[in-house]
């Protein structure tokens, strides 16, 4: 069966007499035991912080989604990223981090990891097999993001995974852009795939949640141990919201994906536009990698405008009526943001004009196009 069929039927109670169609929510901090000798058993939950049945059902869906072996949750997408990183490093280690990483992850590396005695080296997202030359004796992790959520470069995942495995280095990727729907990194040799489930799986911009899926159980146990030591906890109510979102994620994703490609194709021909950053476009430098590794696109893409003042860029964004101004993506509402204040690259090339980012929601694509068209004169 296709995943979209599986996700409708996974993690639900077996039908009986008047059985609810959805899993019940168990809210608990303290868990009771009939016998004192059972309190310290390792094979049962001892406290509410360790999850509930709804967490178990949700984990099965993410494991199936990513073709993985283990899954852990965190209170946000960023928390899932930092959890995966901390599970793989110790003082004295070295991390290779792609230059197009999510800004807060780069900040985490430059501050918290540095305080821990972990050094970080940024690398060009398009380095491919050349990453082998950057791996040091103390390198324990290569952190990836494909495509970058602002600049949309892709990695040659099989080449990087091969180089990492040859030297015993773990690879982890922020796979939020594809939602695990159009890219399966673990099948390309990557060890950990991380999601901000806040986005597509939440779907309604009202819950924060993160997930990390591991390719094997041994690595999964390391992430679980780190999660317990750090004290991360996700509420059963939030897990239920994400599980509910998983039922319809394919349908919502497909609509937003189609809208994004339609708008990206149209904007590529506009006089105001210098470059459109969407890997599904043949003009994208990494289109061949996208065609090889991905089965589709996503809701998010970037646009490099022809040189204009920042005031005109802001006037354009402010003139949009259907695109909200805010971070994130994958929800029901379309969004648009100015990206230049966030760009903090060390080795990547700069753009020749202002960068903005569109996130398509569930509105009609024609209405979104009309909204952009009425705002474009503000750039002149």
Q: Which of these is catalytic: 23, 102, 227, 250?
A: 102
Question: Is the omega angle on the peptide bond into residue 191 within 30 degrees of 0, that is, cis?
Answer: no
Q: Which tokens is 197 given?
A: 């489930």
Q: Which of these is catalytic: 93, 174, 191, 238?
A: 174
Say if CB 63 and CB 70 are below 8 A apart.
Answer: yes
Cβ within 8 Å of residue 130, ≥6 positions away: none
Q: How far apart are CA 322 and CA 336, in angstroms?
A: 10
Q: Which of these is catalytic: 12, 45, 49, 369?
A: 49
Cβ within 8 Å of residue 30, ≥6 positions away: 47, 48
Q: Which of these is catalytic: 23, 199, 244, 247?
A: 199
Known catalytic residue at 227: no
Residue with tokens 């590529």: 268
Known catalytic residue at 49: yes
Q: Which tokens is 228 given?
A: 């317990």
Known catalytic residue at 199: yes
Residues involved in catalysis: 49, 102, 174, 199
């Amino acid at each position: 069966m296709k995943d979209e069929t599986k996700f409708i039927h996974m993690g639900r109670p077996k039908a009986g007499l008047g059985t609810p169609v959805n899993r019940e929510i168990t809210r608990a901090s303290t868990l009771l035991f009939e016998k004192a000798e059972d309190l310290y058993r390792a094979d049962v939950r001892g406290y509410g912080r360790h999850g509930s049945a709804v967490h178990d059902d949700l984990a099965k869906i993410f494991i199936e989604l990513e073709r993985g072996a283990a899954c852990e949750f965190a209170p946000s997408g960023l928390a899932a990223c930092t959890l995966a990183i901390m599970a793989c490093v110790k003082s004295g280690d070295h991390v290779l981090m792609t230059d197009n990483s999510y800004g807060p992850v780069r900040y985490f590396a430059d501050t918290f990891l540095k305080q821990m005695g972990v050094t970080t080296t940024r690398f060009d997202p398009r380095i491919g097999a050349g990453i082998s030359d950057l791996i040091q004796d103390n390198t324990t992790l290569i952190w990836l993001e494909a495509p970058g959520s602002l600049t949309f470069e892709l990695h040659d995942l099989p080449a990087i995974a091969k180089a990492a495995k040859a030297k015993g280095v773990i690879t982890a990727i922020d796979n939020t852009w594809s939602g695990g729907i159009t890219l399966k990194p673990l099948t390309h040799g990557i060890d950990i795939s991380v999601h901000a489930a806040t986005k597509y799986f939440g779907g309604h911009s009202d819950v924060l949640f993160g997930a990390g899926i591991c390719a094997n159980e041994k690595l999964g146990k390391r992430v679980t141990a780190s999660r317990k030591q750090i004290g991360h906890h996700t509420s059963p109510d939030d897990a239920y919201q994400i599980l509910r979102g998983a039922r319809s994620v394919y349908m919502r994703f497909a609509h937003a994906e189609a809208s994004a490609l339609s708008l990206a194709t149209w904007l590529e021909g506009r006089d105001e536009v210098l470059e459109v950053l969407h890997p599904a476009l043949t003009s994208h430098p990494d289109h061949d990698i996208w065609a090889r590794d991905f089965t589709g696109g996503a809701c998010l893409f970037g646009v490099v405008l022809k040189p204009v003042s920042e005031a005109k860029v802001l006037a354009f964004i402010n003139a949009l009526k259907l695109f909200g101004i805010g971070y994130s993506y994958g929800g029901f509402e379309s969004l648009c943001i100015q990206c230049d204040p966030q760009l903090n690259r060390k080795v990547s090339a700069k753009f020749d004009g202002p960068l903005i980012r569109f996130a398509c929601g569930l509105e009609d694509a024609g209405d979104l196009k009309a909204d952009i068209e009425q705002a474009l004169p503000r750039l002149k």
